[in-house]
C-alpha cells in the first residue's frame, strides 16, 4: 500500500514503481556517502526499503529511504533533494512525511549518519548518540570501489 501527499505542484509518494532509479543512482554516485555505488546495489537497496520519492509534477526531485522492522527500529538513508529545488522547505516536508508515516510510529530507535545536515535532523528529534560507547559498527569504506576492481 503506497502513501502519498500533495503540496501545490509537489508530491511525496512511497510508490516504488514511480521512482526514477536512474536519477537516484546518478545522485548517489556523486554523493559523499555512496560515491561509486554500483547500480545493482542501488536497485537492491530500493527494493528492500520503504522509499519516499519527492516529485515536482511527474519529475522526481528528491528521495529518502527507511530500512526498518516496523516494530522497534528504523535507519534513515540516502536523503536528498536536487540542488535546484533546495531552499523551498522540501527537505523539511520530506522529513515530516517520513516521521509521520503510519508504519513508522512507536519505534523505539531511529538512526542515521550525516556529515553536514545535523540541523535538519535535529528538528525531527535526532541527536548525537546518548551512549556512543555502546554502539559499534562494521564499516568498509571502500566496498564500492573494491567491487569495481
* pLDDT tens digit at each of 149 positions of the chain: 677 888 999 999 999 999 999 999 999 999 999 999 999 999 999 999 999 999 999 999 999 999 999 999 999 999 999 999 999 999 999 999 999 999 999 999 999 999 999 999 999 999 999 999 999 998 888 877 766 55
pTM of this prediction exceeds 0.75? yes
Fold category of 4-147 in CATH:
Aminopeptidase (3.40.630)
Angle between helices 21-30 and 39-47 (to 10 degrees): 120
The residue ranges of every structural domain in the chain are 4-147
Closest Cα to residue 105, out of 49, 48, 54, 66? Answer: 66
Which ranges of 31-68 would DSSP assign to H, the alpha helix? 39-47
Q: CB-side exposure of 60: number of CA atoms within 13 Å?
A: 22
Strands (E), the chain: 4-7, 10-13, 50-56, 59-68, 73-81, 109-111
Amino acid at each position: 500500500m503506497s502513501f502519498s501527499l500533495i503540496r501545490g505542484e509537489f508530491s511525496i509518494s512511497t510508490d516504488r514503481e514511480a521512482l526514477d532509479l536512474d536519477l537516484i543512482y546518478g545522485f548517489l554516485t556523486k554523493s559523499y556517502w555512496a560515491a561509486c555505488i554500483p547500480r545493482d546495489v542501488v536497485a537492491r537497496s530500493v527494493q528492500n526499503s520503504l522509499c519516499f520519492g519527492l516529485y515536482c509534477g511527474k519529475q522526481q526531485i528528491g528521495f529518502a529511504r527507511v530500512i526498518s522492522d516496523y516494530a522497534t527500529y528504523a535507519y534513515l538513508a540516502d536523503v536528498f533533494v536536487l540542488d535546484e529545488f533546495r531552499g523551498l522547505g522540501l527537505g523539511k516536508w520530506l522529513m515530516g512525511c517520513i516521521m509521520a508515516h503510519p508504519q513508522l510510529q512507536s519505534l523505539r530507535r531511529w538512526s542515521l549518519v550525516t556529515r553536514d545536515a545535523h540541523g535538519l535532523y535535529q528538528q525531527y528529534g535526532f541527536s548525537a548518540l546518548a551512549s556512543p560507547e555502546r554502539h559499534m559498527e562494521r564499516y568498509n569504506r571502500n566496498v564500492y570501489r573494491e567491487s569495481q576492481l
